[in-house]
A and B are shown apart, each in its own frame.
Chain A
Amino acid sequence: MFEAILLKCIQSLRGERSISGIFHLIQGKRSSQTLQDAKIYNIDLFFATAPSIKKEQVEEAVVRMAAKGWVYINEEKIPVIREEGHQVLNNSTIETRHYLNGMTLHKHVNVFEKRLRLLIQTITRTNLKDFSFIPIEDDIETQRWVKYIYRNCSAEEMITNLHNELYTLLLAIDKLEAELFTARITGGRVTGRTKAQLASRYDLSKEDVDLYVRHTFYYLLQSTLNAPQSYKALFMCAEGLEGSNLITASAKQTHHLLTGGYTLEQICNRRRLKISTIQDHIVEAALVVPDFDISTFVSADHQAEIAQALNLVNSNKLRELYEAMEKRFDYFQLRLVKARLNYGDKEVGSYVSRTTS
């Protein structure tokens, strides 16, 4: 699964982004560059799907895949997919059917996972009359949440319901994933296995163990959200996790000031941040806020002009667009328009077709 995700990224990035770019994406770096890449190249589903990955692991995997002939490294040291790679990718679940949805859900899955792990441990240990177990999750928020649920719900009922709901859902997926998932959970008299133990036992890479288990959590969360009535106990763990638009809190604050009528300079002064940082926030907002208006920064005419040029250049490299437009617009303006176009592409039909027709 790890290699398939990398292949998918390499394919989508079309040799325009380095290994670092891929690493930042799957690791979930919240920089404007990474967020924009994710959207523009259409790989936002894989954003933050491997949060504990290290750069060396990505580099080693790329070398391995190059040795297998799936990719090659071009003269700019950027990986490019080969025909064999396409085939491998086409046969993988990443192309056929998967539940990863990092950009939208990674934070929610994270909370959901922690709650579920600790809830299972708590209700089953206390059922065995053990009130002094060491909690599997250190996170204070999660502990508070579990304590609240524990005080207000019947543990007996929750144990049966959670078991039945998980059983039903796990029955519908790959046996390997069901096995890895149950082996990783701690509850009753059973302690969860570590990543390394599962990797040895199933002859998988540690990255794959991690991804399969995380994928299962994505699957559980989405199935639950789609049918709350059928999975009441699981739905409790998803409580309060509605979608949030802006990713970083800092960008949110900038956006707030912007809608309050502050100018770019005023925001800079007020927040004591560099102008480039504020610009990053605005691009971030343009990517995700539905009715975000960028005409204060680029007029409607200019937007159309840039969109047209973008079509002709047919590359996602900003520099080429910048040159093609004879440097009449700055990078910030170009990025804004691109961000907006991309939003349009995905959610409300193409901005390009509307303006050029």
Chain B
Amino acid sequence: MSREQLHEDLKRYFGYSEFRQGQQEIIEDVLEAKDVLGILPTGSGKSLCFQLPALLQSGVTVVVSPLISLMVDQVRQLKVKGVKSVTALNSFMEVKERAAVLNSLPNYRLIYLSPEILQNSRVAAKLKELHVNLFVIDEAHCISQWGHEFRTDYLKLNEMIKELGDPPVLALSATATPEVQQDIKIQLNRPHMVPHIYKMDKPNMSFEVEYLEDPGEKIERIKTILSNQPAPTMIYFSSRSAAEKVAEELWLTMDQRVAFYHGGMENIDRLLVQQQFMNDELDVVCCTSAFGMGVDKPNIRRIIHYHFPGQIESFIQEIGRAGRDGKPCASLVLHTHRDHYLPQLLIEKELPKNEDAARVFHWFDRNERLLSDEEMLETLQLSDSQWNFIKFHLGKSGVITRNNIEIKENWKVIQAELLNRLQERWNYKNSKYKQMINWLFYDGCRRKMLYSPFQSEVRSPQAGCCDYCGSFMKDLHIPQKEVSRAQYSSWEARLRAIFLQEPSDG
């Protein structure tokens, strides 16, 4: 296909006149049926790399994505663009709805799936009847034990690809270190994937970290910064209640439009906050990591971390939402001694402890078959990820196949092995966490240090660099823009505005 033709298709289907960095190169290789590994920074339009080929090729494109909200969001946005032959299958769908989609599977060009639902035999059988032309693995770092979000179901993708007749594979990620990239190729058994690796540093962003003695100072610091000038700002929290509390405090004391956003809100309210923010009807969003997926807002100027995440990868993803328009933006992390335990607690929730494993073995002694996952969680008092971890490793060592408990002897050896794996994972998670902490306390150029695990050098900054190099969030230049701050004097006026009953732009 000629380059001109590709540009025309881009314009026709998506309305863009230019490809963003990397997109064209990846799409060309995909269309030539090569296996491709694409590492593109957050917000660079990764999904276009398979969406456009899906529309241009015959057959079906299957996309495995680990986050349901992400899938639903992409399907929604494609439909808005007029692409209707797209659907998402996940285990949270109602039975009726899922059956309807399954029965009309041949009508779709692009099918999003969660890795869990791929394990469903009915779904797999239906897929095998189709002609799958491209197999896409989004967030491909989940495949690697050394990726920050290892998902056991990702390891089974390998077999699925074979069963679907070995279609070309496109693996995409925004945060994969060179070792993870290598691991992806090994796990997928595709050593000759064509790599398209792009730099992830953001030359238009400056970095600042501030250690505070007293947690109460955080709010004061945020107020000072915000009062400089209103500009689209995101503040990240690790807990829902903290996000709500700070939003309320800012709303009460500042003349700015503030809202909070987290996964515990009703769907419609989440959508409203997103849209208010997109339409510049909000200045500040206090949010958890649930916010951001699918929020492609070009002019976010500040990202403040009220709590920092447990690893550099998440941090890079979160700051990646700012400055997509290429104009200057800034990151600020506020931390106190208290915050240093928080990520540790989250890791604890994620991984089983020794006594959890002991409880599982004790239960195995008295049972022949596993219950459903939900019942297992309930009976053994484990979290989702804790049970997944145990189930995966016992499956690998042959203790359980499907739902049967096969082996009842040699417990000691198996148990010791599991505990070893557990220890490894602990050590790994902790080293990730230490990496984050080290960055917070680093005494040198933060920009260079932040990206050093991913790339050997960084491009020179376009605006400020970092606090070490003398740049601070308060110095961020925010382009003066007439922000519409429409206030309605009465409900009657608001009703007229909703129904466009005013002379235009009233």
B483 at the interface (CB under 8 A from A): no
Residues of A within 8 A of B494 (CB): 182-183, 190
A50 to B498, CA, bound (A): 27
**Residue in contact with A132 in the complex, picked from B80, B260, B275, B500, CB distance below 8 Å:** B80
Report the Cα distance A137→B266, complex, angstroms: 12
Do the beta carbons of B495 and A191 come within 8 Å of each other? Answer: no
B498's partner among A133, A137, A178, A187 (CB-CB below 8 A) is: A187
Please provide the chain B residues from 68 to 82 with a CB less than 8 Å away from any CB of chain A in the complex: 76-77, 80-81
List residues of chain A with CB within 8 A of the CB of B273: 194
CB of B130 closer than 8 Å to a CB of A? no
Per-position 1/0 for A150-182, Cβ under 8 A of B: 000000000110110011001000010011011
B272 interface residue, CB < 8 Å from A? yes
Report the minimum CB–CB distance from B53 to chain A (whole Å). Answer: 22
Cβ–Cβ contact B496 & A163, under 8 A = yes
Asked whether B491 lies within 8 Å of A182 as measured between CB atoms, the reply is yes
B255 CB–A CB distance under 8 Å: no
Contact B272–A194 (Cβ < 8 Å) = yes
The reply to whether B491 and A178 contact each other, CB–CB distance below 8 Å, is yes
Closest to A195 in B: B269
Question: 1/0 contact trace for A99-128 toward B, CB 8 Å?
Answer: 000000000000000000000100010011
A52-B266, A163-B501 known; A186 vs B272 contact (CB < 8 Å): yes
Is A78 interfacial (CB 8 A cutoff)? Answer: no
The contact of A186 among B259, B275, B495, B500, by CB within 8 Å, is B275
B244 adjacent to chain A (CB < 8 Å): yes
Q: Does A91 contact B (CB under 8 A)?
A: no
Asked whether any CB of chain A lies closer than 8 Å to the CB of B499, the reply is yes
- Contact: B272 with A193, CB < 8 Å? yes
Q: Is the CB of A166 within 8 A of B495?
A: yes
Contact of B260 among A136, A185, A196 (CB under 8 A): A196
- Cα distance, A200 to B253, chains bound together (Å): 12
Q: CB-CB contacts of B196-239 with A at 8 A, as 1s and 0s?
A: 00000000000000000000000000000000000000000000
The listed residue (A134, A175, A189) touching B497 by CB distance below 8 A is: A189
Does B267 count as interface, using CB distance less than 8 angstroms? yes
With CB as the reference atom, state the residue of chain B lying closest to A143: B79
The answer to whether the Cβ of B385 comes within 8 Å of any Cβ in the partner chain is no
Partner of A170, one of B81, B260, B281, B495: B495
CB contact under 8 A between A183 and B267, given known A159-B500, A188-B497, A200-B251: no
Which A residues lie within 8 Å of B251 (CB)?
200
- Does B268 count as interface, using CB distance less than 8 angstroms? yes
Tell whether, in the assembled complex, residue B80 and residue A134 are in contact, meaning their CB atoms are under 8 Å apart.
yes
Across the two chains, which residue of chain B brings its CB closest to A133?
Answer: B80
Interface status of A93 (Cβ within 8 A of chain B) = no
Is B279 engaged at the interface, CB distance under 8 Å to the other chain? yes
User: Which single residue of chain A is at the shortest CB-CB distance from B268?
Assistant: A136
Q: Please judge, given known A-B contacts A134-B80, A197-B259, whether A183 and B499 are in contact too, CB under 8 Å.
A: no
Bound together, the chains give a CA A170 to CA B490 distance in angstroms of 12
Instruction: Tell yes or no: A330 within 8 A of B by CB.
Output: no
B471 partner residues in chain A, CB cutoff 8 A? none
Contact A188/B500 with A133-B80, A134-B80, A183-B494 known, Cβ cut-off 8 Å: yes
Q: In the assembled complex, how far is the CB of residue A227 from the closest CB belonging to chain B, in whole angstroms?
A: 20
B4 lies within 8 A of chain A by Cβ? no
From residue A270, how far is it (CB to closest CB) to chain B in Å? 21
Identify B491's interface contact among A136, A170, A188, A193, CB under 8 A: A170
Instruction: Report whether B492 and A167 are in contact in the complex, using a CB–CB cutoff of 8 Å.
Output: yes
Report the minimal beta-carbon distance from A250 to chain B, rounded to whole angstroms.
Answer: 14
Is the beta-carbon distance between B491 and A162 smaller than 8 angstroms? no
Q: Which residues of B contact A15 (CB under 8 A)?
A: none
The reply to whether the CB of B365 lies closer than 8 angstroms to some CB of chain A is: no
Give chain A residues whose Cβ lies under 8 Å from the Cβ of B500.
Answer: 124, 127-128, 159, 188
Q: Kindly provide the distance from the CB of A158 to the nearest chain B CB, expressed in whole angstroms.
A: 10
In chain B, positions 250-304 with a C-beta closer than 8 Å to chain A are 251-252, 259-260, 265-269, 271-276, 279, 281
Chain B residues with CB under 8 A of A178: 491
Give the CA-CA distance A108 to B422 in the complex, in Å: 53
Known: A124-B500, A196-B269. A134 touches B275 (CB 8 A): yes
B265 pairs with A194, CB closer than 8 A: yes
Residues in B neighbouring A127, C-beta threshold 8 A: 500
Check: B457 CB closer than 8 A to any chain A CB: no
**A226 CA / B268 CA spacing, docked (Å):** 30
Q: Is A138 an interface residue (CB 8 A)?
A: yes
In the docked arrangement, what's the CA distance between A345 and B494, Å? 46
Contacts of B268 in A (CB 8 A): 136-137
24 pairs of residues in contact across A and B, judged by CB atoms under 8 Å: A124-B499, A132-B80, A134-B76, A135-B76, A136-B268, A136-B271, A138-B76, A159-B499, A162-B499, A163-B495, A167-B492, A178-B491, A183-B491, A183-B494, A186-B275, A186-B498, A188-B500, A189-B484, A190-B494, A191-B276, A194-B273, A195-B269, A196-B244, A196-B259
B interface list, Cβ under 8 A from A: 76-77, 80-81, 244, 248, 251-252, 259-260, 265-269, 271-276, 279, 281, 484, 486, 491-492, 494-501
In the complex, the 9 A-B pairs of residues with the closest C-beta atoms, listed nearest first: A163-B499, A187-B498, A194-B269, A182-B491, A179-B491, A182-B494, A191-B276, A191-B275, A132-B80
